[in-house]
A and B are shown apart, each in its own frame.
Chain A
Amino acid sequence: NAGVTQTPKFQVLKTGQSMTLQCAQDMNHEYMSWYRQDPGMGLRLIHYSVGAGITDQGEVPNGYNVSRSTTEDFPLRLLSAAPSQTSVYFCASSYSRGREAQETQYFGPGTRLLVL
């Protein structure tokens, strides 16, 4: 298994540009999520999904959109990039068995985004 993959690894955008960060997993995990990590800080949850067709907001959702059309993919869209969105973005996935949702999360390698 490839696990959780993210593309691109690096990206430079100009303010106002749009882009999509890709995330895919081949472990048939129901749960997927996006985090951002700013320098010297822990990870903050942006959006998450408990299954295809179901998404919800995390701690810092403003400026980001997500959709989940398949179990494998969970893209993160920046509609109009701002310098405040300069960060490292991590995607994660895990099993989710209803109320017994205690499984560990598997993280991708991250996408480093610079918005000028």
Chain B
Amino acid sequence: DAKTTQPPSMDCAEGRAANLPCNHSTISGNEYVYWYRQIHSQGPQYIIHGLKNNETNEMASLIITEDRKSSTLILPHATLRDTAVYYCIVRVVGGANNLFFGTGTRLTVIP
């Protein structure tokens, strides 16, 4: 599985959009981009995933560049409850469902 690079920390004002970048320049054609988050030492929580098209669900939007070497997770209206560590993971389709976590981005939403 390809490795990812994320900034260690970011701040965002409450109510504003939080844009979390992820670099995955060595991603293969059969690897998906996944985003999970971990709130205060709880178990990680799935947010969204995509292959090459932009995706949106009730939690967030995922924007993947055309060359697929980077992506951005967008929380459209950040709240204090969105303060968490956000993990960007790339994983191959098929085989075991293993997720390889890095150290993620610690997002702090400021009142």
* Beta-carbon nearest neighbor of A58 in chain B: B98
A-contact 0/1 string along B32-67, CB 8 Å cutoff: 101000000111111001000000000000000000
Q: Are A31 and B97 in contact (CB under 8 A)?
A: yes
Cβ of B97 and Cβ of A33 under 8 Å apart?
A: yes
Pairwise interchain contact A42-B96, C-beta atoms closer than 8 A: no
A-B contact count (CB 8 A): 69
A15–B91 Cα distance when bound, in Å, is: 36
Contacts of B97 in A (CB 8 A): 31, 33, 48, 94, 96, 101, 103, 105
CB pair B41–A88 under 8 Å, yes or no, is: yes
Asked if residues A99 and B94 are in contact (CB atoms below 8 Å), the reply is: yes
Q: How far is the CA of A108 from the CA of B45 in the complex (A)?
A: 10
CA distance A109 to B103 in the complex (A): 19
Q: Which residue on B lies nearest to A3, using beta carbons?
A: B43
Assess the B44–A107 pair: CB atoms within 8 A.
yes
B81 to chain A, nearest CB (A): 17
CB atoms of A43 and B96 under 8 A apart: no
Chain A: interface residue total (CB-CB under 8 A): 33
Interface residues in A69-116 by Cβ distance below 8 A to B read: 88, 90, 92, 94, 96, 98-110
A26: CB under 8 A from chain B?
Answer: no
Known: A101-B93, A102-B32. A110 touches B99 (CB 8 A): no
Taken together as a complex, chains A and B put the C-alpha atoms of A58 and B97 apart, in Å, by: 11
Identity of the chain B residue whose Cβ is nearest the Cβ of A44 in the assembled complex: B101
A50 within 8 A of B: yes
Contacts A99-B95, A102-B91, A108-B43 known; list 11 others, CB within 8 Å.
A35-B101, A41-B103, A48-B98, A90-B44, A92-B43, A92-B44, A99-B93, A101-B94, A105-B44, A109-B42, A109-B43
